[in-house]
Amino acid sequence: MTVMNRTELEKLADHLIVYIRKKPEEYFDWKRLEAKLNLDREQLDAVLEFAASWDYKIRVRKKLGVAFIAPPDSLTATEISHKLATRWLGRNLFCYQAVKSTNDIAAEMSEQGAVEGTVITAEQQTRGRGRLGRHWHSPTGTGIYLSVLFRPNLRPDNAPGISIATAVALADTLEEYLPNDVRIKWPNDILIRGRKMAGILTELSAEGSRINHVIVGIGININQRAGGFPDEIKTIATSLRREVKRKVNRVELLQKFLKNLEKQYERYLIHRLEKSRAKLRRYSSLLGREITIRAGKSLTTGIARDIDADGCLILETAEGEVPIIAGEVTIVKK
Ligand code: BT5
Protein backbone atom coordinates (compact mmCIF):
# COMPACT_ATOMS: atom_id res chain seq x y z
CA MET A 1 0.00 0.00 0.00
CA THR A 2 1.28 3.52 -0.73
CA VAL A 3 1.15 5.77 2.30
CA MET A 4 -0.66 9.04 1.67
CA ASN A 5 0.44 12.43 2.86
CA ARG A 6 -1.87 14.90 4.58
CA THR A 7 -2.78 16.81 1.43
CA GLU A 8 -3.76 13.62 -0.36
CA LEU A 9 -5.78 12.43 2.61
CA GLU A 10 -7.52 15.79 2.82
CA LYS A 11 -8.44 15.70 -0.87
CA LEU A 12 -9.68 12.12 -0.75
CA ALA A 13 -11.66 12.66 2.45
CA ASP A 14 -13.27 15.63 0.76
CA HIS A 15 -14.18 13.52 -2.33
CA LEU A 16 -15.53 10.75 -0.14
CA ILE A 17 -17.77 13.07 1.84
CA VAL A 18 -19.10 14.88 -1.22
CA TYR A 19 -19.91 11.47 -2.73
CA ILE A 20 -21.63 9.73 0.18
CA ARG A 21 -23.56 12.75 1.44
CA LYS A 22 -25.63 12.70 -1.76
CA LYS A 23 -27.61 9.91 -0.13
CA PRO A 24 -27.57 10.43 3.64
CA GLU A 25 -28.04 7.36 5.83
CA GLU A 26 -27.64 5.02 2.85
CA TYR A 27 -24.78 2.50 2.86
CA PHE A 28 -22.22 2.63 0.06
CA ASP A 29 -20.54 -0.77 -0.16
CA TRP A 30 -16.78 -1.13 0.10
CA LYS A 31 -16.23 -2.23 -3.50
CA ARG A 32 -18.06 0.79 -4.84
CA LEU A 33 -16.08 3.23 -2.70
CA GLU A 34 -12.76 1.59 -3.53
CA ALA A 35 -13.55 1.86 -7.24
CA LYS A 36 -14.83 5.44 -6.96
CA LEU A 37 -11.75 6.72 -5.13
CA ASN A 38 -9.34 4.29 -6.78
CA LEU A 39 -8.03 3.03 -3.43
CA ASP A 40 -7.47 -0.28 -1.73
CA ARG A 41 -9.31 -1.10 1.48
CA GLU A 42 -6.47 -0.10 3.76
CA GLN A 43 -6.15 3.29 2.10
CA LEU A 44 -9.89 3.75 2.32
CA ASP A 45 -9.72 3.10 6.07
CA ALA A 46 -7.08 5.81 6.39
CA VAL A 47 -9.28 8.25 4.48
CA LEU A 48 -12.27 7.41 6.68
CA GLU A 49 -10.23 7.97 9.78
CA PHE A 50 -9.13 11.33 8.45
CA ALA A 51 -12.72 12.34 7.58
CA ALA A 52 -13.80 11.40 11.10
CA SER A 53 -11.25 13.89 12.49
CA TRP A 54 -13.36 16.62 10.86
CA ASP A 55 -16.24 15.55 13.12
CA TYR A 56 -18.48 14.22 10.39
CA LYS A 57 -20.92 11.62 11.61
CA ILE A 58 -20.15 8.66 9.38
CA ARG A 59 -21.35 5.11 10.09
CA VAL A 60 -18.98 2.31 9.16
CA ARG A 61 -20.22 -1.32 9.02
CA LYS A 62 -18.05 -4.28 8.11
CA LYS A 63 -20.72 -5.91 6.00
CA LEU A 64 -22.66 -2.95 4.68
CA GLY A 65 -20.01 -0.32 3.99
CA VAL A 66 -20.14 3.40 4.83
CA ALA A 67 -23.05 5.81 5.35
CA PHE A 68 -23.10 9.58 5.76
CA ILE A 69 -25.14 10.58 8.80
CA ALA A 70 -24.61 14.29 9.51
CA PRO A 71 -22.19 17.13 8.89
CA PRO A 72 -20.43 18.77 11.84
CA ASP A 73 -21.16 22.30 12.94
CA SER A 74 -17.73 23.48 11.98
CA LEU A 75 -16.43 26.03 9.55
CA THR A 76 -14.45 23.89 7.14
CA ALA A 77 -13.87 24.57 3.45
CA THR A 78 -15.70 21.37 2.54
CA GLU A 79 -18.80 22.36 4.50
CA ILE A 80 -18.89 25.99 3.43
CA SER A 81 -18.29 25.19 -0.26
CA HIS A 82 -20.97 22.52 -0.29
CA LYS A 83 -24.08 24.31 -1.55
CA LEU A 84 -22.41 27.73 -1.55
CA ALA A 85 -24.49 29.71 -4.04
CA THR A 86 -22.10 32.59 -4.80
CA ARG A 87 -20.50 33.02 -8.21
CA TRP A 88 -17.08 34.31 -7.11
CA LEU A 89 -17.14 35.40 -3.46
CA GLY A 90 -15.64 32.74 -1.20
CA ARG A 91 -14.65 30.50 -4.10
CA ASN A 92 -11.07 30.95 -2.91
CA LEU A 93 -11.59 29.91 0.69
CA PHE A 94 -9.27 29.23 3.62
CA CYS A 95 -10.59 27.94 6.93
CA TYR A 96 -8.48 27.88 10.06
CA GLN A 97 -8.93 26.52 13.57
CA ALA A 98 -7.17 29.30 15.44
CA VAL A 99 -5.47 32.44 14.17
CA LYS A 100 -4.47 35.75 15.68
CA SER A 101 -6.77 37.71 13.38
CA THR A 102 -8.37 36.71 10.09
CA ASN A 103 -7.80 40.29 8.84
CA ASP A 104 -4.03 39.82 9.20
CA ILE A 105 -4.13 36.57 7.23
CA ALA A 106 -6.18 38.23 4.50
CA ALA A 107 -3.63 41.07 4.30
CA GLU A 108 -0.76 38.58 3.97
CA MET A 109 -2.61 36.71 1.26
CA SER A 110 -3.36 39.95 -0.52
CA GLU A 111 0.38 40.73 -0.57
CA GLN A 112 0.93 37.35 -2.20
CA GLY A 113 -1.59 38.22 -4.90
CA ALA A 114 -4.75 36.45 -3.69
CA VAL A 115 -7.77 37.03 -5.91
CA GLU A 116 -10.68 39.31 -5.17
CA GLY A 117 -13.33 37.48 -3.18
CA THR A 118 -10.84 35.42 -1.16
CA VAL A 119 -12.41 34.54 2.20
CA ILE A 120 -10.62 33.56 5.40
CA THR A 121 -12.54 32.04 8.31
CA ALA A 122 -11.48 30.90 11.75
CA GLU A 123 -13.09 28.97 14.59
CA GLN A 124 -11.21 31.13 17.05
CA GLN A 125 -9.09 34.29 17.12
CA THR A 126 -6.47 34.84 19.77
CA ARG A 127 -6.09 38.53 18.89
CA GLY A 128 -9.37 39.46 17.25
CA ARG A 129 -9.41 43.22 16.65
CA GLY A 130 -12.04 45.88 16.68
CA ARG A 131 -11.48 49.44 15.51
CA LEU A 132 -8.77 51.64 17.06
CA GLY A 133 -6.94 48.59 18.38
CA ARG A 134 -9.85 47.44 20.53
CA HIS A 135 -10.28 43.76 21.32
CA TRP A 136 -12.85 41.49 19.64
CA HIS A 137 -13.85 38.60 21.87
CA SER A 138 -13.54 35.53 19.60
CA PRO A 139 -14.05 32.27 21.54
CA THR A 140 -13.80 28.94 19.75
CA GLY A 141 -16.63 27.16 18.00
CA THR A 142 -19.46 29.56 18.78
CA GLY A 143 -18.99 32.60 16.57
CA ILE A 144 -18.15 33.33 12.97
CA TYR A 145 -14.96 35.27 12.31
CA LEU A 146 -14.17 35.99 8.71
CA SER A 147 -12.35 38.36 6.42
CA VAL A 148 -13.09 39.11 2.80
CA LEU A 149 -10.56 40.50 0.35
CA PHE A 150 -11.88 43.02 -2.16
CA ARG A 151 -9.96 44.78 -4.92
CA PRO A 152 -12.41 47.38 -6.14
CA ASN A 153 -11.58 49.70 -8.96
CA LEU A 154 -12.67 52.69 -6.87
CA ARG A 155 -11.12 55.70 -5.18
CA PRO A 156 -9.95 55.25 -1.58
CA ASP A 157 -12.70 57.56 -0.32
CA ASN A 158 -15.23 55.02 -1.62
CA ALA A 159 -13.88 52.33 0.72
CA PRO A 160 -15.97 53.18 3.83
CA GLY A 161 -19.13 52.61 1.80
CA ILE A 162 -18.08 48.97 1.30
CA SER A 163 -18.30 48.59 5.06
CA ILE A 164 -21.86 49.93 5.00
CA ALA A 165 -22.78 47.64 2.08
CA THR A 166 -21.44 44.76 4.20
CA ALA A 167 -23.61 45.86 7.12
CA VAL A 168 -26.66 45.77 4.81
CA ALA A 169 -25.76 42.23 3.65
CA LEU A 170 -25.34 41.13 7.26
CA ALA A 171 -28.57 42.77 8.41
CA ASP A 172 -30.45 41.10 5.53
CA THR A 173 -29.00 37.75 6.59
CA LEU A 174 -29.83 38.13 10.27
CA GLU A 175 -33.30 39.40 9.49
CA GLU A 176 -34.20 35.93 8.22
CA TYR A 177 -33.68 34.71 11.79
CA LEU A 178 -34.98 37.79 13.59
CA PRO A 179 -37.60 39.60 11.54
CA ASN A 180 -37.90 43.32 12.44
CA ASP A 181 -35.31 43.31 15.22
CA VAL A 182 -32.08 43.91 13.33
CA ARG A 183 -30.53 47.38 13.54
CA ILE A 184 -27.39 48.85 12.02
CA LYS A 185 -25.64 51.31 14.29
CA TRP A 186 -23.72 53.34 11.75
CA PRO A 187 -21.08 52.68 10.71
CA ASN A 188 -20.19 49.15 11.75
CA ASP A 189 -22.30 47.56 14.47
CA ILE A 190 -25.23 45.21 14.20
CA LEU A 191 -27.50 45.53 17.21
CA ILE A 192 -30.40 43.41 18.35
CA ARG A 193 -32.66 45.07 20.92
CA GLY A 194 -29.81 47.44 21.78
CA ARG A 195 -27.09 44.81 22.18
CA LYS A 196 -24.21 44.17 19.81
CA MET A 197 -24.38 40.90 17.88
CA ALA A 198 -21.81 41.67 15.19
CA GLY A 199 -19.09 44.14 14.28
CA ILE A 200 -17.30 45.02 11.06
CA LEU A 201 -13.70 46.16 10.73
CA THR A 202 -12.71 47.50 7.32
CA GLU A 203 -9.04 48.03 6.52
CA LEU A 204 -7.83 49.81 3.43
CA SER A 205 -4.54 49.66 1.57
CA ALA A 206 -4.17 52.35 -1.09
CA GLU A 207 -1.53 54.12 -3.13
CA GLY A 208 -2.46 57.61 -4.23
CA SER A 209 -5.85 57.46 -5.87
CA ARG A 210 -5.73 53.67 -6.32
CA ILE A 211 -7.07 51.05 -3.91
CA ASN A 212 -4.77 48.09 -3.50
CA HIS A 213 -7.21 46.17 -1.34
CA VAL A 214 -10.07 46.54 1.09
CA ILE A 215 -10.26 43.87 3.75
CA VAL A 216 -13.60 43.58 5.46
CA GLY A 217 -13.50 41.64 8.73
CA ILE A 218 -16.75 40.49 10.25
CA GLY A 219 -17.32 38.99 13.69
CA ILE A 220 -20.75 37.55 14.51
CA ASN A 221 -21.84 36.08 17.83
CA ILE A 222 -23.87 33.00 17.00
CA ASN A 223 -24.07 30.20 19.55
CA GLN A 224 -22.74 31.77 22.75
CA ARG A 225 -25.09 31.04 25.64
CA ALA A 226 -26.74 33.93 27.44
CA GLY A 227 -24.13 33.85 30.22
CA GLY A 228 -21.24 33.14 27.86
CA PHE A 229 -19.72 36.60 27.55
CA PRO A 230 -16.89 37.97 29.68
CA ASP A 231 -17.69 40.67 32.26
CA GLU A 232 -16.47 43.59 30.10
CA ILE A 233 -19.15 42.98 27.47
CA LYS A 234 -21.82 40.90 29.17
CA THR A 235 -24.27 43.80 29.38
CA ILE A 236 -23.68 45.10 25.86
CA ALA A 237 -23.27 41.92 23.78
CA THR A 238 -25.70 39.34 22.56
CA SER A 239 -25.67 36.23 20.36
CA LEU A 240 -28.13 34.89 17.84
CA ARG A 241 -28.77 31.88 20.06
CA ARG A 242 -29.61 34.11 22.98
CA GLU A 243 -32.15 35.99 20.85
CA VAL A 244 -33.79 33.12 18.94
CA LYS A 245 -33.50 30.68 21.85
CA ARG A 246 -32.00 27.83 19.83
CA LYS A 247 -28.65 26.82 18.35
CA VAL A 248 -28.12 28.05 14.83
CA ASN A 249 -26.19 26.29 12.07
CA ARG A 250 -23.21 28.56 11.43
CA VAL A 251 -22.33 27.14 8.03
CA GLU A 252 -25.81 27.83 6.67
CA LEU A 253 -25.80 31.37 8.01
CA LEU A 254 -22.35 32.03 6.54
CA GLN A 255 -23.43 30.73 3.13
CA LYS A 256 -26.45 33.05 3.14
CA PHE A 257 -24.29 35.97 4.20
CA LEU A 258 -21.69 35.41 1.47
CA LYS A 259 -24.45 35.30 -1.12
CA ASN A 260 -25.95 38.54 0.19
CA LEU A 261 -22.54 40.17 0.38
CA GLU A 262 -21.71 39.31 -3.22
CA LYS A 263 -24.96 40.96 -4.28
CA GLN A 264 -24.48 44.10 -2.17
CA TYR A 265 -20.85 44.52 -3.24
CA GLU A 266 -21.66 44.22 -6.95
CA ARG A 267 -24.47 46.70 -6.47
CA TYR A 268 -22.13 49.07 -4.66
CA LEU A 269 -19.60 49.03 -7.51
CA ILE A 270 -22.28 50.30 -9.89
CA HIS A 271 -24.73 52.34 -7.82
CA ARG A 272 -22.86 52.98 -4.55
CA LEU A 273 -25.57 52.77 -1.86
CA GLU A 274 -28.24 54.54 -3.88
CA LYS A 275 -30.41 51.42 -4.13
CA SER A 276 -29.91 50.44 -0.49
CA ARG A 277 -30.83 53.75 1.10
CA ALA A 278 -34.42 52.80 1.87
CA LYS A 279 -33.18 49.65 3.58
CA LEU A 280 -30.47 51.57 5.43
CA ARG A 281 -33.04 53.98 6.77
CA ARG A 282 -35.22 51.10 7.92
CA TYR A 283 -32.31 49.31 9.62
CA SER A 284 -30.71 52.40 11.13
CA SER A 285 -30.72 52.70 14.91
CA LEU A 286 -29.65 56.35 14.77
CA LEU A 287 -31.94 58.31 12.47
CA GLY A 288 -33.86 61.02 14.29
CA ARG A 289 -31.64 60.78 17.36
CA GLU A 290 -29.28 63.33 18.78
CA ILE A 291 -25.76 61.99 18.62
CA THR A 292 -22.14 62.98 18.96
CA ILE A 293 -19.61 61.66 16.48
CA ARG A 294 -15.96 61.55 17.34
CA ALA A 295 -13.50 61.36 14.46
CA GLY A 296 -9.93 61.65 15.71
CA LYS A 297 -9.99 64.70 17.99
CA SER A 298 -12.99 66.35 16.42
CA LEU A 299 -16.43 66.07 17.96
CA THR A 300 -19.62 66.90 16.07
CA THR A 301 -23.06 66.91 17.65
CA GLY A 302 -26.36 66.96 15.84
CA ILE A 303 -29.37 64.97 14.79
CA ALA A 304 -28.80 61.97 12.51
CA ARG A 305 -30.95 62.62 9.47
CA ASP A 306 -29.97 60.21 6.74
CA ILE A 307 -27.29 58.04 5.15
CA ASP A 308 -26.19 59.08 1.68
CA ALA A 309 -25.13 57.02 -1.33
CA ASP A 310 -21.47 57.09 -0.21
CA GLY A 311 -22.35 55.75 3.23
CA CYS A 312 -21.90 59.10 4.98
CA LEU A 313 -24.14 59.85 7.93
CA ILE A 314 -25.91 63.15 7.35
CA LEU A 315 -25.87 65.08 10.58
CA GLU A 316 -28.06 68.13 11.11
CA THR A 317 -25.93 70.50 13.16
CA ALA A 318 -26.32 74.15 14.25
CA GLU A 319 -24.33 75.06 11.10
CA GLY A 320 -26.53 73.01 8.76
CA GLU A 321 -26.32 69.48 7.40
CA VAL A 322 -22.88 67.85 7.28
CA PRO A 323 -21.93 64.47 5.82
CA ILE A 324 -19.68 62.41 8.12
CA ILE A 325 -17.64 59.64 6.56
CA ALA A 326 -16.49 57.74 9.67
CA GLY A 327 -16.38 58.00 13.43
CA GLU A 328 -17.48 56.78 16.82
CA VAL A 329 -21.09 57.47 17.67
CA THR A 330 -22.42 58.25 21.11
CA ILE A 331 -26.11 58.79 21.60
CA VAL A 332 -26.85 61.93 23.58
CA LYS A 333 -29.26 60.94 26.33
CA LYS A 334 -31.89 63.47 27.28
C1 BT5 B 1 -15.88 46.20 15.81
O2 BT5 B 1 -15.02 47.07 16.42
O3 BT5 B 1 -17.03 46.04 16.11
C4 BT5 B 1 -15.26 45.38 14.71
C5 BT5 B 1 -15.13 43.91 15.06
C6 BT5 B 1 -14.57 43.12 13.91
C7 BT5 B 1 -14.23 41.72 14.32
C8 BT5 B 1 -13.83 40.90 13.13
S9 BT5 B 1 -13.71 39.20 13.49
C10 BT5 B 1 -12.96 38.87 11.99
C11 BT5 B 1 -12.01 40.02 11.72
N12 BT5 B 1 -10.72 39.79 12.31
C13 BT5 B 1 -10.43 40.65 13.29
O14 BT5 B 1 -9.39 40.65 13.98
N15 BT5 B 1 -11.45 41.52 13.43
C16 BT5 B 1 -12.51 41.26 12.47
P17 BT5 B 1 -15.44 48.20 17.48
O18 BT5 B 1 -16.56 49.01 16.93
O19 BT5 B 1 -14.17 48.89 17.78
O20 BT5 B 1 -15.98 47.41 18.71
C21 BT5 B 1 -15.13 46.80 19.63
C22 BT5 B 1 -15.86 46.79 20.96
O23 BT5 B 1 -16.96 45.86 20.90
C24 BT5 B 1 -15.00 46.31 22.12
O25 BT5 B 1 -14.30 47.37 22.70
C26 BT5 B 1 -16.04 45.70 23.08
O27 BT5 B 1 -16.66 46.72 23.85
C28 BT5 B 1 -17.08 45.16 22.14
N29 BT5 B 1 -16.91 43.72 21.87
C30 BT5 B 1 -15.77 42.99 21.84
N31 BT5 B 1 -16.02 41.73 21.48
C32 BT5 B 1 -17.35 41.64 21.30
C33 BT5 B 1 -18.22 40.58 20.94
N34 BT5 B 1 -17.79 39.35 20.66
N35 BT5 B 1 -19.56 40.86 20.86
C36 BT5 B 1 -20.03 42.09 21.11
N37 BT5 B 1 -19.25 43.13 21.46
C38 BT5 B 1 -17.92 42.90 21.55
pLDDT in tens, 189-239: 999 999 999 999 999 999 999 999 999 999 999 999 988 999 999 999 999
Q: Is the CB of 322 under 6 A from ligand 1?
A: no
What are the two backbone dihedrals, phi and then psi, of residue 283, each rounded to the nearest 5 degrees?
Answer: -80, -20
Q: Is the CB of 196 under 6 A from ligand 1?
A: yes
Q: What value does the mean pLDDT take over residues 31-35? A: 97
pLDDT of residue 237: 98
pLDDT of residue 53: 86
Q: Is the CB of 224 under 6 A from ligand 1?
A: no
Q: Atom of ligand 1 at shortest distance to CA of 125?
A: 14
| DSSP code at position 313 | E
| DSSP code at position 301 | E
pLDDT of residue 81: 93
Q: Is the CB of 44 under 6 A from ligand 1?
A: no
Give the residue among 21, 72, 89, 115 at the shortest CA–CA distance from 255.
89
Domain extents in the chain: 6-70, 77-283, 290-331
Has domain 290-331 been given CATH number 2.30.30.100? yes
CATH topology assigned to domain 77-283: BirA Bifunctional Protein; domain 2 (3.30.930)
Has domain 6-70 been given CATH number 1.10.10.10? yes
Residues 6+ apart with CB under 8 A from 16: 33, 37, 47, 48, 51, 66
Q: How many angstroms does the Cα of residue 133 sit away from the middle of ligand 1?
A: 10
Q: How many angstroms does the Cα of residue 138 sit away from the middle of ligand 1?
A: 9
- Residue 309: which pLDDT band, with cuts at 50, 70 and 90? very high
The span from the CA of 246 to the CA of 177, in Å, is: 11
Q: How many angstroms does the Cα of residue 220 sit away from the middle of ligand 1?
A: 9
- Residue 287: which pLDDT band, with cuts at 50, 70 and 90? very high
Q: How many angstroms does the Cα of residue 271 sit away from the middle of ligand 1?
A: 29
What are the two backbone dihedrals, phi and then psi, of residue 33, each rounded to the nearest 5 degrees?
Answer: -70, -40
Instruction: Report the DSSP pairing between strands 210-221 and 328-331.
Output: unpaired
Please say if the pLDDT value at position 84 is more than 80. Answer: yes
Q: How many angstroms does the Cα of residue 64 sit away from the middle of ligand 1?
A: 49
Q: Would 6-70 and 290-331 be classified into the same CATH topology?
A: no
Q: How far is CA 164 from the centre of its chain?
A: 14
At 88, is the secondary structure helix, strand, or coil? coil
Higher pLDDT, 6 or 111: 111
Q: Atom of ligand 1 at shortest distance to CA of 328?
A: 18
Residue 62: burial class (beta carbons within 10 Å; 0-12, 13-18, 19+): exposed
pLDDT of residue 334: 61
